Every structure is written in structure tokens, then in C-alpha cells.
Amino acid sequence: MAFDGLNEKFQNIFSGLKRKGKLDEADIKAANREIKLALLEADVNFKVVKQFTKAVAERAKGAEVLKSLTPGQQFIKIVNDEMTKLLGGELQKMTFVDKGINLYMMVGLQGAGKTTTAAKIANLLRKERKLTPMLVACDVYRPAAITQLQVLGDQLNIPVFTIPDQNDPRVIASEAIKKAEAEGYDLVIIDTAGRLQIDEALMKELSDIRDLVHPTETLLVVDGMTGQESVNVAKEFNDLLDISGVVLTKLDGDTRGGAALSVTYTTGKSIKFIGTGEKLSDIELFYPDRMASRILGMGDILSLIDKAQNMVDEEKAKELETKMRNMEFDLNDFLEQIKQLREMGPISNLLEMLPGANQKMFKGMDMNETEDQAGKTEAIITSMTPEERSKPAIINGSRRKRIANGSGTSVADVNRLLKGYEQSRKMMKQMGNLTKGKGKKGRFKMPFM
Amino acid sequence: MASFYQRMKNKLSNTKDNFKEKLDHVMYYHKLDDDFFDDLEETLILSDMGIDTSVKIVEALKMQIRQTGTKTTEDVKVLLEQIMSDMVDVASPTVQTPVIMMVVGVNGVGKTTTIAKLASQYLDEGKKVMVAAADTFRAAAVEQLEIWADRIGVDIIKSNTGADPASVIFDAIHAAKARKVDYLICDTAGRLHNKVNLMNELEKLTWVIEREGSEFNKHNLLVLDATTGQNALIQARTFNDAVHLDGMVMTKLDGTAKGGVVIPIISELQVPVEYVGIGEKKDDLIPFDAHAFVHLLYDESDQPENSEEN
Ligand SMILES: Nc1nc2c(ncn2[C@@H]2O[C@H](COP(=O)(O)OP(=O)(O)O)[C@@H](O)[C@H]2O)c(=O)[nH]1
Ligand SMILES: [Mg+2]
């Protein structure tokens, strides 16, 4: 899980302070030193660490902490505030134009995740802002980079513009704009080749493209696992291109957060999105305060709720509610729910948003097994006939055998599923009675909410 | 071929953080006092060596200075270089052909490009080389390797995106037997090391290689990106647990990243770094020289040193 190393250390530091009751300057100094080490070990840039611990120390020295009745809590609050500040303060929204084309240009080092991110953003903004996207393939260097974007475009049903055999990305970019204008696209995302920030020729190519097409935003894509180098990269790209924001990728790994905590300080530009998986829906807005709580081990309930709300289809939820009330909830609905749950992304990603959650808590639990289980359930239900799904009661021994064979599972698996379904039904009945009794009209919550 | 040191040096011109200069500067003003050691520690951390290792190096240096009574910058540098060289002193096993190489790593580190570079190098040595496109996951990953295979002129075994990587490797091994190749190099999909099911898939691939390719030697290579920080250490540990690594390749050293994290990695896992990548072209791969690498970490002057020429 991302930030595990850090949030575990912070929780240790904090619980040490809370136990103390009263704090003196030496306590604070010691805590600050531990914070410094934790951040350095997490790849946060050296200068950023110095600045951060200095800011925390200064505020902690003030009357705020020492005189407080709950000095530990006060100190934690300061760390939380400063970290939120370091991460950019508030959510920075994307810039959109009222009229014309919203043009975003993706830039960054090789292998950072630009192409995938370009496709993810196109998909997200089509859904959220109802824009009509076009992707532009300007990576003329890496073998098959254009094909990669085309494949992603096909998957999303988003057109990809390129000019075969054109090896000047400047030409491709400006032709793309003409086409978008002529055909009424209002969202254009330009994917560029990865390059080192010290490669002058290639960096100039980027500023040329920018001067030709005037992007609404230039987004620097940074691999979340980047080490001390993130500062040099961010600084050079920003100096040359005056980037408008950063996208941090691969946060589904167990990165310690160094890049996240260093880039905004270095550039003064906010992180706008984070990439959290290989699926094209695995992208989230970046909320500095929520991220700070996550890093400090305080969880991120707000993001979890957002996620659930985004994934749940309002219509389907209402339908389900009626079914539950009338006890018509069958295996088709069960399947639907599992699908929705899985669409929210890896279960481990969800769990890490819970307050106090860290790797240790889930040590005994195999996330992949949980996910396999959901996969199995899906397979079993899809191997049933429509009749069986709507009337599970008819599933007898020989049917169970057939279903197990068809889904590549065992009869025991099928039994387990049917039992689970029966239990949910019972639970729903009780819940139904309860809400009826109170005369409330509130709708049922998904079991996972 | 020019030595590792010279080629690196040419690539690494005009790096601003000149450690040597810093060292000279600090020692001029401070002698060997706390500020000096703090500065040294900072420089080591900035090269991604991590806290533990940096502290360890500084402590060892302090002790040796005390023991030897060293006082000059030059002598301190010699001590420091020796301490770090000792940490990365791991013998590189020679690869015996015929061999099946499996190349693994997280997403975007440079696996496919490194395979192309390796293939090209073995081809230049007059060897028979084949590559297997077992990254059937990432969009256009097969096409990427295919273009490289075409450019270099090596045989490629492939299937389509979405196919079972184990079946691609199965086919490749049988083709490699039939065509009597010296090197079969297998590309694999990038995977974050914390995804247990993906790591299990790698174990399955190893198993297919063991079973079908019993007459081949096996050589598993982990590709690491020099820009990665301390996470690379965890990557190396986890991949080593899953598939037993025989060697590592560190890419993107043509940037300004120092890649210092290999020092704790080599010293902990005792797995050698065999090559480093210094660019995107097929010849941008050079054999790793641990001692020269250490030297480079704190000597980045533009003038090549005569003593390092081969
Ligand atoms: N500058 C530089 N770029 C590299 C190096 N090795 C690979 N790359 C680039 O890194 C990107 C990702 O490489 P790729 O081989 O596709 O990574 P994979 O996903 O691990 O197979 C590509 O743009 C490569 O050209 C290197 O040594 N130096
Ligand atoms: Mg690849």
C-alpha cells in the first residue's frame, strides 16, 4: 500500500507523544528528528525535509503546544497542517475554457506513465464534464508508442490523431488542433515522448509545441516511486515549460510518498491527479488534506465515500432498493453488486483509505484472495441458467455439480455462495422490517458503503 | 569498447552537484568536523543511498579516520571509496549458454528496451538470439518488441495482447530448442511488486521455464530505474523472493539520477548489477563496474582521468 512506511512511522511517533501528557522542548526536538528521518527514508527531498521540520519546530515552540492541555494532539495537528500545506493546501481544479478547445499536454521522463494517463484523463473528463475528446499521439520516438495510444483509444472509443511517417511532433500537434477545430472536439490531449530534463534538443521540442498550440494546461507526469531526483526533474520541466500541474502515477504501489511531498514545494504547482492502477478508470483527483491524513495514518474516509458514490449507478440503486423491500433480491442482483464492488478497484486500495489502516493490520489477510473470491462468485453465478439465478431455491445437488463444473470451481464453493446469499436475504428482511417500523424512507445502503 | 568509466563520464557531463568539489570545499573550511560529516551524509542521501546506508558509511569513515589518523581530503576520499567499494563487491557469474533469460521489473523501468540492447550485444558476439514477447498485457508491448527485433534482426516469438504469457514462453522454448539458439530472452509485463497475484504469475512462468527448458541454463534479470528511490530496494527484495534473481540492470543513468540505491541493494541481496543503461539506443548498454560506479558518485569532473582508462 502506498505510504505504508511513512504512516506507520508517523503513528508510532504520534502515539509516543500522546502517551506523554506534557511535552517539553526536548520531546518536540526528538519527535522532529524522528519525523526528519522518516521523511528522508521515504525519499522526500532533503531540502524539503529541512524546510518542513523547521516549520513544524517553529510552530511547536510557540505557546500553541507547550501550554496546551493536550500537547500531543496539538503537535499532530501542526504536522497535519504543515503537511497539507506542503501538498498544496487545497484541491486545485483543472482549468477549463468556456469556448473552444480544452487542450492538455502531457510531459515527463521516460516510463512515467504519460500515455496511460492521457487516456485516463480523456475518459474521466468525457464522463465528468461531458467533453468530446481527441487524443494526439506525438511520441514519434519510442517504438510502438503511437500504437499503444491507439489501442487505448480503441478501448475507450476515443479517436486518436496522428500522421503516419511524420517524425516531427510539432507538425502532428498543430495539425491535430486544426482537425479538432474543424470537427468540433472540445478536449484535446497531447501525449509526448518521454525525455530527460537535461536533453536540450528534446526539451526545446516541447517548448516549441507549447508555443504552437498554447495548451490550457501542461501536466508533468511523475512516477510516484521517484527518489531524490524528483526535485531536479520537476524543477527543470517547470523552469522551461511553466507547467500548470503534476500527475503522480503508480500510487497503487507501495511508494513512500517522496515525490508527492517534494514536487509541489519545488515547483509551486499542484498535483492535480493521481494514478492508482493499470485500468483506465484508475485515476483520482488529488486532495492535499486527504492525502496528508493518509500519509499520517489517519485514513481517508472522504475519498472512500466519493469512490462509492461515483461507482454506484443511482437508477440501479433505486431498483435494488425496491427489490430488497419486496424480497425479490435474487442472484442476478447479487452478481450486479459484486461487479460494482470490483469496479471500485482493488480491495486493498479501498482498505488503505480506512483510518488507522496500514499493512500490519491486514497482514493475516490476503487481499488477492478476497479478490479471487469475488471473481469466483462471478464465475459461479454466470454459470447458472437464468431460471436458477432468479429462483435459487431450485438449485439442487445435480445442478450444483453442473454449475461447479461450468465455472471451474467446486461444489463446496457453490454451496458457500448459496449460503452467503441466503444469509444476505435474511439480513435484508430484518433491515426491511426495521426501516419499515421507523417509517423512514431512506434508501438502503450498499452493503459495502 | 571504451571503459565503463569513460562512457559514463561522457554522459555525465555538467552535473551540478559535484561531490568532489563539495568535499574539497567543506574540508577547506571545516576540517573534519561535524559539519563535514553532516554534509557528507546529506550528499549520500541525495544520491538515493537511503538513510541507513548513508549513516553506516559515515560511521565507518569516522572510525577509519580515527584509526588511520587521516587528515587530507585526498586520503579521506580514498577511505570513502574503499568503504563503498567493499559494499558492492559481488562477483558477477558468467552466463553459460544456451540460456533462457527472463527479464522482470515494475512498469516503465526499461525492460523491453534493455532486452533489445542485450539481444543486439549477443548478436554482435556472433551468438544466436531469440526474444519472446511475453508482455501480453500492456497495450502495444508486443509491437514494441517486434519493432526492436526487426531493427536488430533477431527472431521473435509472440502471440496477441491478452494471450497467456506462459503459453508464449512455452512456444518460445520449443522454438529455441528447434532452432538451437544460444540466448532466449523473455520479456514480461511490468508489475508492481506489491501485487501478489502478478508476482505469483511470475512464479508460474519460472516453473514453465524449468519444466520445458531443462536443457537450458536459467538467468533471471531484474531491471531497475535509476530515478527510483528507496522503493527500488523493496522491489529488489520482492522480485528476488518470487523468482530468485541472478542479476540486475540499472537503466536511465544518462539522466542526473545517481542511482545510489543500488549500493544498499547489492550489499543486502548479494546480487550483482551486470549492466547499466545510458540511453534509448541499442548500443546504450554498458557492463557495470561497481568500483568505477562508486568513484563516479563523487567524482564528476569533466576531465577523464588517465588512471581509469583501460
Ligand atoms: N534515457 C533513457 N531511457 C531509457 C533507458 N532504458 C529505457 N528507456 C526508456 O524508458 C521508457 C520505458 O522503456 P520500456 O523498455 O518500454 O520499459 P518497460 O515497460 O519496462 O518494458 C522508454 O521510453 C525507453 O526508451 C535508458 O537507459 N535511458
Ligand atoms: Mg515492456
Highest-scoring range by mean pLDDT, A19-33, A76-90, B72-86: A76-90
More confident residue, B137 or A437: B137
Whole-number Å distance between alpha carbons of A146 and A279:
19
Closest CB from A41, A198, A225 relative to B50:
A41
Question: Considering the domain boundaries, does residue B121 fall inside one?
Answer: yes
Please tell me the total count of domains within chain B: 2
Q: In the structure, what pLDDT confidence band is assigned to residue A292 with cuts at 50, 70 and 90? A: confident
DSSP classification of residue A394: G
Single out the residue in B196, B223, B245 at which a domain terminates: B245
Cα(A72)–Cα(A234) distance, rounded to whole angstroms?
35
Would you call B48 and A253 a contact, using CB atoms and an 8 Å cutoff? no
* Complex prediction ipTM: 0.86
Average of per-residue pLDDT values in chain B: 85
Alpha-carbon gap: B7 to the closest alpha carbon of chain A (Å) = 17
Do B144 and B59 fall into the same domain? Answer: no
DSSP string, chain B: ---HHHHHHHHTTT-S--HHHHHHHHHHHH-SSHHHHHHHHHHHHHTT--HHHHHHHHHHHHHHHHHHT--SHHHHHHHHHHHHHHHT--PPPPPPSSEEEEEE-STTSSHHHHHHHHHHHHHHTT--EEEEEE--SSTTHHHHHHHHHHHHT-EEE---TTS-HHHHHHHHHHHHHHTT-SEEEEEE----TT-HHHHHHHHHHHHHHHHHTTTSEEEEEEEEETTB-THHHHHHHHHHHHH--SEEEEE-TTSS---TTHHHHHHHH---EEEEE-SSSTT-EEE--HHHHHHHHT---SSPPGGG--
- In this structure, the answer to whether residues B84 and B153 fall within a common structural domain is no
| Amino acid B296: pLDDT | 72
Phi, psi of B158 (to 5 degrees): -145, 165
- In 3D, which of B120, B132, B133, B108 has the Cα closest to residue B251? B108
Q: Alpha-carbon distance A408 to A416, whole Å? A: 15
Q: Are residues B40 and B66 in the same domain?
A: yes
Q: Are B85 and B107 found together in one domain? A: no
- Residue positions counted in chain B: 310
A360 burial (CB, 10 Å; 0-12 / 13-18 / 19+) is exposed
Q: How far is the CA of A213 from the centre of ligand 2 (A)?
A: 31
Confidence of residue A422 (pLDDT cuts 50, 70, 90): confident
- The domain that holds B110 is classified in CATH as 3.40.50.300
Residue predicted with more confidence, A256 or A234: A234
- Selected residue with higher pLDDT from B203 and A12: B203
- What pLDDT does residue A445 have? 37
Q: What is the pLDDT of residue B27?
A: 61
Residue B310 inside a domain? The answer is no
Which residue of chain B comes nearest to A114, CA vs CA? B108
Instruction: Give the whole-angstrom CA distance, residue A309 versus residue A421.
Output: 24
Same domain, B234 and B165: yes
Quick one: closest CA in A to B55, which residue?
Answer: A37
Of the listed ranges A315-319, B182-186, B196-200, B238-242, the least confidently predicted one is A315-319
**Which residue's entry shows cell 550483482?**
B272
Is pLDDT of B81 > 90?
A: no
What contacts A314, CB < 8 A, 6 or more positions away? none
Does the CA dihedral A13-A15-A20-A23 come out positive or negative? positive
More confident residue, B193 or A112: A112
**Residue recorded with cell 515494475:** B106
Give A272's pLDDT tier (boundaries 50, 70, 90). very high
* Residues of A in Cβ contact (< 8 Å) with B120: none
The pLDDT of residue A7 = 77
A33-37, A302-306, A312-316, B181-185: which has the minimum mean pLDDT? Answer: A302-306
Cβ-contact B74, B193 below 8 angstroms: no
The set of cell numbers assigned to B41 is: 551524509
Residue B217 contacts residue B99 (beta carbons within 8 Å): yes
**In whole angstroms, what is the distance from residue A286 CA to residue A272 CA?**
5
Q: Look at residue B229 and tell me whether its pLDDT is greater than 50.
A: yes
Least confident of A82-91, A363-372, B49-58: A363-372
B254 belongs to a structural domain: no
Same domain, B131 and B57: no
- The string of pLDDT tens digits covering residues B83-106 is 988 888 887 778 899 999 999 999
Q: Among A31-45, A121-135, B176-190, B274-288, which is the least confidently predicted range?
A: A31-45
Question: What are the structural domains, with CATH classification, of chain A?
Answer: 4-86 (1.20.120.140), 102-300 (3.40.50.300), 307-438 (1.10.260.30)
pLDDT value of position A440: 38
Q: How many CB pairs under 8 A join A and B?
A: 142
Domain membership flag for residue B308: no
Closest CA–CA distance from residue A67 to any residue of chain B (Å)? 33
Together in a domain, B116 and B24: no
Site from B45, B227, B297 to mutate, A interface, most A CB atoms within 10 angstroms:
B227
Contact between chains at B48 and A229 (C-beta distance less than 8 A): yes
- Residue B37 one-letter amino acid: F
Distances (CA, A) of B292 to A26, A253, B86, B208: 44, 32, 12, 38
Ligand index nearest the alpha carbon of residue A144: 1
Among candidates B51, B148, B229 on the partner chain, residue whose Cβ is nearest the Cβ of A227: B229
The pLDDT value given to residue B303: 34
B307: in domain: no
Mean pLDDT for A49-70 is 80
**Domain final position from B66, B90, B114:** B90
**Residue A439 — very low, low, confident or very high, per pLDDT cuts 50/70/90?**
very low
CATH of the domain at B46: 1.20.120.140
Residue A82 pLDDT > 80, yes or no? yes
Question: Are B31 and B104 members of one domain?
Answer: no
Report which DSSP code applies to A98: S
| Contact present, B190 and B105 (Cβ < 8 Å) | yes
B256 touches chain A (CB under 8 A): yes
The residues placing their C-beta within 5 Å of ligand 2, an ion, are: B 111-112, 135, 141
According to the model, what pLDDT value does residue B239 have? 94
Q: Are residues B127 and B230 in the same domain?
A: yes
Question: Beta partners for B187?
Answer: B133
Atom of ligand 1 nearest to the CA of B144: 16
Query: Searching chain A, which residue's CA lies closest to the CA of residue B16?
Result: A232
The whole-angstrom distance between A230's CA and the closest CA on chain B is 8
Answer whether residue A423 shows pLDDT above 80.
Answer: no
**pLDDT tens profile A353-384:** 655 444 455 544 555 566 677 778 888 888 88
Give dist(CA B230, CA A300) in Å, integer.
Answer: 25
* A383 CB-near residues (< 8 Å, 6+ apart): A402, A403, A406, A407
Ordered strands of the B217-225 beta sheet: B155-157, B129-134, B183-188, B99-104, B217-225, B247-251, B273-277, B285-287
Residue A42 contacts B, CB cutoff 8 Å: yes
Do B128 and B230 sit in the same domain of this protein? Answer: yes
Q: Final residue of a domain: which of B73, B90, B107?
A: B90
Among A331, A321, A346, CA closest to A431? A321
Q: How confident is the model at residue A273 (pLDDT cuts 50, 70, 90)?
A: very high
Same domain? For B195 and B104 the reply is: yes
- Could A229 and B227 be called an inter-chain contact, meaning their C-beta atoms sit closer than 8 Å? yes
The rounded Cα B259 to chain-centroid distance in angstroms is 9
- A365–B contact, CB cutoff 8 A: no
- Tell me what the mean pLDDT of segment A419-434 comes to: 69
Q: Taken in order B278, A40, A88, A353, is the CA torsion positive or negative?
A: positive
Write out pLDDT tens, residues A166-185: 999 999 999 999 999 999 99
Radius of gyration of chain A (CA): 26
Decide if B290 is inside a domain: no
Q: Which of residues 200-229 of A touch B (CB under 8 A)?
A: 223, 225-229
How confident is the model over A186-229, as pLDDT tens digits?
999 999 999 999 999 999 999 999 999 999 999 999 999 999 88
Average pLDDT taken over every residue of chain A = 82
- Number of the ligand 1 atom closest to the C-alpha atom of B251: 27
pTM for this prediction? 0.79
Q: Dihedral angle at the C-alpha atoms of A52, A57, A59, A60, nearest 10 degrees?
A: 130
Chain A CA closest to residue B227: A226
Inter-chain contact A109–B227, Cβ cutoff 8 Å?
Answer: yes
Indicate if the pLDDT at residue B252 is higher than 90: yes
Q: Taking CB atoms and an 8 Å limit, are B196 and A367 in contact across chains? A: yes
Domain boundaries, position B209: 99-245
Concatenated DSSP letters of A27-47: HHHHHHHHHHHHHHHTT--HH
B39 shares a domain with B65: yes
Q: Are A43 and B229 an interchain contact pair (Cβ–Cβ within 8 Å)?
A: yes
DSSP code, position A95: P
Q: Do B140 and A367 count as a contact with CB atoms less than 8 A apart? A: no
Chain B, window 49-68: residues with a beta carbon less than 8 angstroms from a chain A beta carbon = 50-52
Percent of chain A at pLDDT above 70?
Answer: 79
**Domain membership flag for residue B44:** yes
Instruction: Using the mean position of ligand 2's atoms as its centre, give its distance from the Cα of residue B209 in Å.
Output: 19
Q: Rounded CA gap, A316 and A183, in Å?
A: 35
Instruction: State the pLDDT at residue A303.
Output: 60
B296 in any annotated domain: no
CB distance B47–A40 less than 8 Å?
A: no
The confidence band for A17, taking pLDDT boundaries of 50, 70 and 90, is confident
Q: Which residues line ligand 1 (CB under 6 A)?
A: A 110-111, 142, 194, 196; B 105, 107-113, 190, 251-252, 254, 277-280, 284
At a CB cut-off of 8 Å and minimum separation 6, what does B59 contact? none
